[in-house]
Structure 1
Amino acid sequence: MTAVNRPARLNRTLIALIGLLLLVAGGYAIAAQRGWLGWVDRSAALTPGTAAPATWVFYAIVVGAITVGLLCLRWLAAQLFRMPSTEKWQLADEKSVGATVLSSATAAAAVVADIESFDSVDSASGWLSGPGRAPELHLIVTARPEADLTELRRRILGEAVPRLRQALEVGVIPVTMELRLTDDRKSARVR
Protein backbone atom coordinates (compact mmCIF):
# COMPACT_ATOMS: atom_id res chain seq x y z
CA MET A 1 0.00 0.00 0.00
CA THR A 2 1.47 3.33 -1.01
CA ALA A 3 1.25 6.60 0.84
CA VAL A 4 -0.89 7.94 -2.01
CA ASN A 5 -3.62 5.37 -1.41
CA ARG A 6 -3.85 5.12 2.39
CA PRO A 7 -7.53 4.11 2.76
CA ALA A 8 -7.22 1.11 0.43
CA ARG A 9 -6.69 -1.51 3.17
CA LEU A 10 -9.56 -0.15 5.30
CA ASN A 11 -11.87 -0.01 2.28
CA ARG A 12 -11.11 -3.59 1.28
CA THR A 13 -11.61 -4.79 4.86
CA LEU A 14 -14.94 -2.99 5.20
CA ILE A 15 -16.15 -4.24 1.83
CA ALA A 16 -15.16 -7.80 2.77
CA LEU A 17 -16.92 -7.57 6.16
CA ILE A 18 -20.10 -6.12 4.67
CA GLY A 19 -20.07 -8.75 1.93
CA LEU A 20 -19.59 -11.53 4.49
CA LEU A 21 -22.39 -10.13 6.64
CA LEU A 22 -24.74 -9.97 3.65
CA LEU A 23 -23.85 -13.54 2.64
CA VAL A 24 -24.55 -14.81 6.17
CA ALA A 25 -27.85 -12.91 6.36
CA GLY A 26 -28.90 -14.16 2.93
CA GLY A 27 -27.95 -17.74 3.79
CA TYR A 28 -29.87 -17.48 7.07
CA ALA A 29 -32.97 -16.17 5.25
CA ILE A 30 -32.83 -18.96 2.64
CA ALA A 31 -32.32 -21.62 5.31
CA ALA A 32 -35.24 -20.24 7.34
CA GLN A 33 -37.52 -20.12 4.29
CA ARG A 34 -36.66 -23.70 3.31
CA GLY A 35 -37.34 -24.96 6.83
CA TRP A 36 -33.77 -26.13 7.42
CA LEU A 37 -33.57 -24.34 10.77
CA GLY A 38 -35.36 -26.18 13.56
CA TRP A 39 -35.81 -23.13 15.77
CA VAL A 40 -37.59 -21.09 13.03
CA ASP A 41 -41.27 -21.74 12.32
CA ARG A 42 -41.95 -21.19 8.61
CA SER A 43 -45.63 -20.48 9.16
CA ALA A 44 -45.13 -17.91 11.95
CA ALA A 45 -45.73 -14.22 11.27
CA LEU A 46 -42.71 -12.06 10.68
CA THR A 47 -43.77 -9.57 13.37
CA PRO A 48 -45.85 -10.33 16.45
CA GLY A 49 -49.49 -9.20 16.35
CA THR A 50 -51.50 -7.65 13.56
CA ALA A 51 -51.56 -4.03 14.71
CA ALA A 52 -49.54 -1.40 12.88
CA PRO A 53 -46.40 -0.27 14.69
CA ALA A 54 -46.21 3.12 16.33
CA THR A 55 -45.61 6.15 14.10
CA TRP A 56 -42.16 6.77 15.58
CA VAL A 57 -41.03 3.37 14.24
CA PHE A 58 -41.65 4.51 10.66
CA TYR A 59 -39.78 7.76 11.28
CA ALA A 60 -36.88 5.86 12.82
CA ILE A 61 -36.71 3.56 9.80
CA VAL A 62 -36.74 6.52 7.39
CA VAL A 63 -34.04 8.37 9.34
CA GLY A 64 -31.95 5.20 9.54
CA ALA A 65 -32.31 4.55 5.79
CA ILE A 66 -31.38 8.15 4.93
CA THR A 67 -28.37 8.00 7.25
CA VAL A 68 -27.16 4.73 5.73
CA GLY A 69 -27.71 6.13 2.22
CA LEU A 70 -25.72 9.29 2.99
CA LEU A 71 -22.91 7.26 4.55
CA CYS A 72 -22.80 5.07 1.44
CA LEU A 73 -22.61 8.17 -0.77
CA ARG A 74 -19.81 9.57 1.38
CA TRP A 75 -17.94 6.29 1.16
CA LEU A 76 -18.40 6.25 -2.60
CA ALA A 77 -17.10 9.82 -2.87
CA ALA A 78 -14.04 8.83 -0.83
CA GLN A 79 -13.24 6.10 -3.36
CA LEU A 80 -12.75 8.60 -6.16
CA PHE A 81 -9.16 9.51 -6.83
CA ARG A 82 -8.25 12.88 -5.37
CA MET A 83 -4.95 14.63 -5.62
CA PRO A 84 -3.51 16.30 -2.55
CA SER A 85 -4.07 20.02 -2.30
CA THR A 86 -1.40 22.22 -3.79
CA GLU A 87 1.09 23.92 -1.53
CA LYS A 88 2.89 27.22 -1.81
CA TRP A 89 6.64 26.88 -1.46
CA GLN A 90 8.93 29.74 -0.51
CA LEU A 91 12.18 29.05 -2.32
CA ALA A 92 14.32 31.75 -0.68
CA ASP A 93 16.16 31.64 2.64
CA GLU A 94 14.94 33.49 5.69
CA LYS A 95 18.00 35.79 5.34
CA SER A 96 17.17 36.92 1.78
CA VAL A 97 15.57 40.24 1.10
CA GLY A 98 13.09 38.96 -1.49
CA ALA A 99 11.14 35.73 -1.72
CA THR A 100 10.14 33.46 -4.54
CA VAL A 101 6.86 31.64 -4.05
CA LEU A 102 6.06 28.64 -6.24
CA SER A 103 2.90 26.56 -6.31
CA SER A 104 3.50 22.81 -6.25
CA ALA A 105 0.91 22.53 -9.05
CA THR A 106 3.03 24.76 -11.29
CA ALA A 107 6.13 22.65 -10.73
CA ALA A 108 4.15 19.46 -11.32
CA ALA A 109 2.65 20.85 -14.54
CA ALA A 110 6.15 21.48 -15.89
CA VAL A 111 7.32 17.92 -15.30
CA VAL A 112 4.04 16.52 -16.69
CA ALA A 113 4.48 18.59 -19.88
CA ASP A 114 8.03 17.27 -20.14
CA ILE A 115 6.87 13.65 -19.82
CA GLU A 116 4.00 14.16 -22.27
CA SER A 117 6.54 15.27 -24.88
CA PHE A 118 8.02 11.75 -24.94
CA ASP A 119 7.10 9.78 -28.08
CA SER A 120 5.36 6.81 -26.47
CA VAL A 121 3.31 8.79 -23.91
CA ASP A 122 -0.38 9.49 -24.52
CA SER A 123 -1.03 11.43 -21.32
CA ALA A 124 0.41 12.07 -17.90
CA SER A 125 -0.71 13.58 -14.64
CA GLY A 126 1.36 14.37 -11.62
CA TRP A 127 1.51 16.26 -8.39
CA LEU A 128 4.07 17.22 -5.83
CA SER A 129 3.45 16.81 -2.13
CA GLY A 130 5.46 17.60 0.94
CA PRO A 131 7.52 20.65 1.86
CA GLY A 132 9.46 22.65 -0.73
CA ARG A 133 12.86 21.38 0.43
CA ALA A 134 11.77 17.72 0.44
CA PRO A 135 9.06 17.28 -2.22
CA GLU A 136 7.68 13.94 -3.36
CA LEU A 137 6.60 13.43 -6.97
CA HIS A 138 3.60 11.25 -7.80
CA LEU A 139 3.04 10.36 -11.46
CA ILE A 140 0.40 8.53 -13.49
CA VAL A 141 1.64 8.00 -17.04
CA THR A 142 -0.50 6.48 -19.81
CA ALA A 143 1.58 5.07 -22.66
CA ARG A 144 0.79 3.47 -25.98
CA PRO A 145 0.64 -0.36 -26.01
CA GLU A 146 3.78 -0.66 -28.11
CA ALA A 147 5.80 1.44 -25.65
CA ASP A 148 8.85 -0.04 -23.99
CA LEU A 149 7.94 0.57 -20.34
CA THR A 150 11.45 -0.03 -19.09
CA GLU A 151 12.83 2.58 -21.47
CA LEU A 152 10.00 4.97 -20.63
CA ARG A 153 10.68 4.61 -16.91
CA ARG A 154 14.39 5.13 -17.51
CA ARG A 155 13.70 8.32 -19.49
CA ILE A 156 11.36 9.71 -16.86
CA LEU A 157 13.80 9.02 -14.02
CA GLY A 158 16.86 9.96 -16.08
CA GLU A 159 15.61 13.08 -17.88
CA ALA A 160 12.39 14.59 -16.51
CA VAL A 161 13.03 14.09 -12.79
CA PRO A 162 16.62 15.45 -12.87
CA ARG A 163 15.35 18.59 -14.66
CA LEU A 164 12.75 19.02 -11.91
CA ARG A 165 15.39 18.48 -9.21
CA GLN A 166 17.60 21.10 -10.85
CA ALA A 167 14.71 23.57 -11.14
CA LEU A 168 13.72 23.11 -7.49
CA GLU A 169 17.36 22.98 -6.35
CA VAL A 170 16.89 19.81 -4.30
CA GLY A 171 19.16 16.79 -4.18
CA VAL A 172 16.61 13.97 -4.13
CA ILE A 173 12.96 13.71 -5.13
CA PRO A 174 11.26 10.42 -4.23
CA VAL A 175 9.01 9.31 -7.11
CA THR A 176 5.96 7.07 -7.11
CA MET A 177 4.93 6.18 -10.62
CA GLU A 178 2.00 4.30 -12.09
CA LEU A 179 2.42 3.29 -15.73
CA ARG A 180 -0.74 2.49 -17.68
CA LEU A 181 -1.23 1.32 -21.23
CA THR A 182 -3.81 2.76 -23.63
CA ASP A 183 -6.49 0.24 -24.54
CA ASP A 184 -6.48 -0.10 -28.35
CA ARG A 185 -9.87 -1.80 -28.31
CA LYS A 186 -11.52 1.33 -26.86
CA SER A 187 -9.79 3.68 -29.28
CA ALA A 188 -10.70 1.42 -32.20
CA ARG A 189 -14.41 1.48 -31.28
CA VAL A 190 -14.67 5.23 -30.71
CA ARG A 191 -14.88 7.13 -33.98
Structure 2
Amino acid sequence: MNRILLGLLGFVLLVAGGSAIAVHLGRVPQMDRNAELLPGTALPPAWVLWVVAAAAVVVALVCLRWLVAQIPRRKVATWRWADEAGATRITTSTAAAPFAEEITAYPGVRKVEAVLTGPHTAPRLALVVRAHGDADLRGIRRRIDDEGLPRLREALGTADLQATVEFRMTASKADARAH
Protein backbone atom coordinates (compact mmCIF):
# COMPACT_ATOMS: atom_id res chain seq x y z
CA MET A 1 0.00 0.00 0.00
CA ASN A 2 2.86 2.35 0.87
CA ARG A 3 4.50 1.93 -2.54
CA ILE A 4 1.19 2.34 -4.36
CA LEU A 5 0.46 5.62 -2.61
CA LEU A 6 3.98 6.88 -3.21
CA GLY A 7 3.77 5.92 -6.87
CA LEU A 8 0.39 7.62 -7.21
CA LEU A 9 1.66 10.78 -5.51
CA GLY A 10 4.72 10.78 -7.77
CA PHE A 11 2.54 10.38 -10.86
CA VAL A 12 0.29 13.28 -9.80
CA LEU A 13 3.30 15.50 -9.15
CA LEU A 14 4.83 14.49 -12.48
CA VAL A 15 1.62 15.37 -14.34
CA ALA A 16 1.33 18.69 -12.48
CA GLY A 17 4.94 19.59 -13.25
CA GLY A 18 4.59 18.55 -16.88
CA SER A 19 1.43 20.65 -17.19
CA ALA A 20 3.18 23.68 -15.74
CA ILE A 21 6.06 23.26 -18.18
CA ALA A 22 3.64 22.84 -21.10
CA VAL A 23 1.82 26.07 -20.16
CA HIS A 24 5.12 27.90 -19.74
CA LEU A 25 6.28 26.78 -23.20
CA GLY A 26 2.95 27.86 -24.75
CA ARG A 27 1.84 24.33 -25.68
CA VAL A 28 -1.63 24.76 -24.12
CA PRO A 29 -3.59 27.21 -26.37
CA GLN A 30 -6.37 27.82 -23.80
CA MET A 31 -3.88 29.23 -21.30
CA ASP A 32 -1.99 32.50 -21.64
CA ARG A 33 1.60 31.78 -20.72
CA ASN A 34 2.19 35.40 -19.71
CA ALA A 35 -0.82 35.61 -17.39
CA GLU A 36 -0.11 35.93 -13.69
CA LEU A 37 -0.95 32.94 -11.56
CA LEU A 38 -2.13 35.15 -8.71
CA PRO A 39 -3.15 38.65 -9.77
CA GLY A 40 -1.46 41.55 -7.99
CA THR A 41 1.69 39.74 -6.95
CA ALA A 42 5.16 40.49 -8.19
CA LEU A 43 7.66 37.85 -9.16
CA PRO A 44 10.28 37.05 -6.55
CA PRO A 45 13.90 37.75 -7.37
CA ALA A 46 15.49 35.33 -9.84
CA TRP A 47 17.78 33.79 -7.21
CA VAL A 48 14.73 32.67 -5.20
CA LEU A 49 13.42 30.76 -8.20
CA TRP A 50 16.81 29.08 -8.67
CA VAL A 51 16.99 28.09 -5.00
CA VAL A 52 13.46 26.66 -5.10
CA ALA A 53 14.28 24.72 -8.28
CA ALA A 54 17.51 23.36 -6.80
CA ALA A 55 15.73 22.33 -3.59
CA ALA A 56 13.01 20.61 -5.62
CA VAL A 57 15.62 18.66 -7.58
CA VAL A 58 17.38 17.57 -4.37
CA VAL A 59 14.09 16.47 -2.79
CA ALA A 60 13.13 14.61 -5.97
CA LEU A 61 16.47 12.78 -6.05
CA VAL A 62 16.20 11.83 -2.38
CA CYS A 63 12.65 10.55 -2.92
CA LEU A 64 13.72 8.63 -6.02
CA ARG A 65 16.60 7.03 -4.09
CA TRP A 66 14.20 6.03 -1.32
CA LEU A 67 11.73 4.59 -3.83
CA VAL A 68 14.46 2.54 -5.52
CA ALA A 69 15.51 1.23 -2.10
CA GLN A 70 12.00 -0.19 -1.67
CA ILE A 71 12.47 -2.57 -4.60
CA PRO A 72 13.35 -5.97 -3.17
CA ARG A 73 16.60 -7.39 -4.45
CA ARG A 74 17.04 -11.13 -4.60
CA LYS A 75 20.68 -11.59 -5.50
CA VAL A 76 21.71 -15.20 -5.33
CA ALA A 77 25.39 -15.59 -4.52
CA THR A 78 27.56 -18.66 -4.87
CA TRP A 79 29.86 -19.60 -2.03
CA ARG A 80 33.00 -21.57 -2.76
CA TRP A 81 35.17 -23.60 -0.38
CA ALA A 82 38.45 -25.10 -1.52
CA ASP A 83 40.60 -27.69 0.21
CA GLU A 84 42.94 -30.55 -0.69
CA ALA A 85 40.07 -32.77 -1.80
CA GLY A 86 38.69 -30.19 -4.26
CA ALA A 87 36.24 -27.32 -4.32
CA THR A 88 32.67 -27.09 -3.13
CA ARG A 89 30.17 -24.59 -4.52
CA ILE A 90 26.71 -23.85 -3.17
CA THR A 91 24.25 -21.06 -3.83
CA THR A 92 22.96 -19.12 -0.85
CA SER A 93 19.37 -19.98 -1.77
CA THR A 94 20.23 -23.70 -1.70
CA ALA A 95 21.86 -23.30 1.71
CA ALA A 96 18.89 -21.39 3.15
CA ALA A 97 16.07 -23.58 1.73
CA PRO A 98 16.28 -26.49 4.24
CA PHE A 99 16.47 -24.02 7.12
CA ALA A 100 13.33 -22.23 5.88
CA GLU A 101 11.52 -25.57 5.55
CA GLU A 102 12.51 -26.51 9.10
CA ILE A 103 11.17 -23.23 10.52
CA THR A 104 7.96 -23.58 8.47
CA ALA A 105 7.27 -26.85 10.33
CA TYR A 106 7.17 -25.05 13.69
CA PRO A 107 3.67 -24.71 15.21
CA GLY A 108 1.99 -21.45 14.24
CA VAL A 109 4.31 -20.71 11.31
CA ARG A 110 2.67 -20.35 7.93
CA LYS A 111 5.61 -19.47 5.66
CA VAL A 112 9.28 -18.51 5.99
CA GLU A 113 11.53 -16.58 3.63
CA ALA A 114 15.23 -16.99 4.39
CA VAL A 115 17.96 -15.07 2.59
CA LEU A 116 21.67 -15.59 3.20
CA THR A 117 23.94 -12.70 2.22
CA GLY A 118 27.57 -11.81 2.56
CA PRO A 119 30.64 -14.01 2.11
CA HIS A 120 30.64 -17.57 3.46
CA THR A 121 33.23 -16.51 6.03
CA ALA A 122 30.85 -13.95 7.58
CA PRO A 123 27.29 -14.73 6.43
CA ARG A 124 24.17 -12.85 7.45
CA LEU A 125 20.70 -14.37 7.54
CA ALA A 126 17.49 -12.40 7.07
CA LEU A 127 14.29 -14.23 8.02
CA VAL A 128 10.72 -13.16 7.33
CA VAL A 129 8.43 -15.43 9.33
CA ARG A 130 4.74 -15.30 8.45
CA ALA A 131 2.90 -16.60 11.49
CA HIS A 132 -0.75 -17.17 12.32
CA GLY A 133 -2.37 -14.53 14.52
CA ASP A 134 -2.59 -16.85 17.51
CA ALA A 135 1.01 -18.13 17.23
CA ASP A 136 3.45 -17.98 20.15
CA LEU A 137 6.06 -15.61 18.69
CA ARG A 138 8.39 -15.92 21.68
CA GLY A 139 8.30 -19.70 21.39
CA ILE A 140 9.00 -19.55 17.67
CA ARG A 141 11.90 -17.15 18.20
CA ARG A 142 13.27 -19.31 21.02
CA ARG A 143 13.18 -22.42 18.80
CA ILE A 144 14.89 -20.54 15.98
CA ASP A 145 17.66 -19.38 18.33
CA ASP A 146 18.03 -22.66 20.24
CA GLU A 147 17.47 -25.27 17.52
CA GLY A 148 17.46 -23.89 13.97
CA LEU A 149 20.34 -21.42 14.00
CA PRO A 150 22.84 -23.73 15.74
CA ARG A 151 22.17 -26.42 13.12
CA LEU A 152 22.55 -23.91 10.28
CA ARG A 153 25.78 -22.57 11.79
CA GLU A 154 27.10 -26.13 12.01
CA ALA A 155 26.06 -26.92 8.44
CA LEU A 156 27.73 -23.78 7.11
CA GLY A 157 30.77 -24.25 9.29
CA THR A 158 30.62 -20.77 10.83
CA ALA A 159 29.90 -19.63 14.34
CA ASP A 160 29.59 -16.00 13.25
CA LEU A 161 26.23 -16.25 11.48
CA GLN A 162 24.30 -13.03 12.19
CA ALA A 163 20.52 -13.36 11.94
CA THR A 164 17.62 -10.91 11.88
CA VAL A 165 14.04 -12.10 12.22
CA GLU A 166 10.95 -10.21 11.08
CA PHE A 167 7.53 -11.51 12.04
CA ARG A 168 4.47 -10.83 9.92
CA MET A 169 1.12 -11.83 11.34
CA THR A 170 -1.76 -13.35 9.38
CA ALA A 171 -5.24 -14.42 10.42
CA SER A 172 -5.33 -17.38 12.79
CA LYS A 173 -6.25 -20.81 11.43
CA ALA A 174 -9.72 -20.63 12.99
CA ASP A 175 -10.37 -17.17 11.48
CA ALA A 176 -9.18 -18.34 8.06
CA ARG A 177 -11.61 -21.29 8.08
CA ALA A 178 -14.52 -19.11 9.17
CA HIS A 179 -14.22 -16.81 6.15
- The TM tier, using the shorter chain, reads 0.5 to 0.7
Q: CA–CA distance in 2 between the matches of 1:119 and 1:151?
A: 9
Q: CA–CA distance in 1 between the matches of 2:69 and 2:121?
A: 30
Q: CA–CA distance in 2 between the matches of 1:118 and 1:153?
A: 10
Answer yes or no: is 1:127 the counterpart of 2:115. yes
Superposition map of 1:56-75 within 5 A: none
For residue 141 of structure 1, what is the aligned residue in structure 2? 129
Q: CA–CA distance in 2 between the matches of 1:150 and 1:162?
A: 17
Superposition map of 1:28-177 within 5 A: 46-48=32-34, 79-83=70-74, 85-93=75-83, 96-177=84-165
Letter in 2 for 1:48: N
What stretches of structure 2 of length at least 5 have no aligned partner? Answer: 17-30, 36-62
Instruction: Please state whether the residue corresponding to 1:80 is helix, strand or coil.
Output: coil
Letter in 1 for 2:78: K
For residue 176 of structure 2, what is the aligned residue in structure 1? 187
Letter in 2 for 1:82: R
Shift of 1:180: 1.1
What stretches of structure 1 of length at least 5 have no aligned partner? Answer: 1-10, 26-44, 50-71
Instruction: Please state whether the residue corresponding to 1:100 is helix, strand or coil.
Output: strand
Q: CA–CA distance in 2 between the matches of 1:171 and 1:76?
A: 35
Letter in 2 for 1:170: T
Q: CA–CA distance in 1 between the matches of 2:113 and 2:76?
A: 14
Instruction: Please state whether the residue corresponding to 1:108 is helix, strand or coil.
Output: helix
Per-residue CA distance 1:109-153 (angstroms, 9 max, x = gap): 111011111111000001100001111000000111111111110
Question: Percent identity, aligned pairs only?
Answer: 39
Aligned length: 127
Question: Which has the larger share of strand?
Answer: 2
Q: CA–CA distance in 2 between the matches of 1:123 and 1:140?
A: 8
- Report the TM-score, using the length of structure 2 for normalisation: 0.59
Q: CA–CA distance in 2 between the matches of 1:76 and 1:186?
A: 35
Judged with a 3 Å threshold, the aligned counterparts in structure 2 of structure 1 residues 91 and 148 are, in CA distance, closer, same or farther, namely: same
Judged with a 3 Å threshold, the aligned counterparts in structure 2 of structure 1 residues 151 and 186 are, in CA distance, closer, same or farther, namely: closer
Judged with a 3 Å threshold, the aligned counterparts in structure 2 of structure 1 residues 166 and 148 are, in CA distance, closer, same or farther, namely: same
Q: CA–CA distance in 1 between the matches of 2:66 and 2:154?
A: 40
Shift of 1:79: 2.8
Q: CA–CA distance in 2 between the matches of 1:141 and 1:79?
A: 19
Judged with a 3 Å threshold, the aligned counterparts in structure 2 of structure 1 residues 136 and 73 are, in CA distance, closer, same or farther, namely: closer
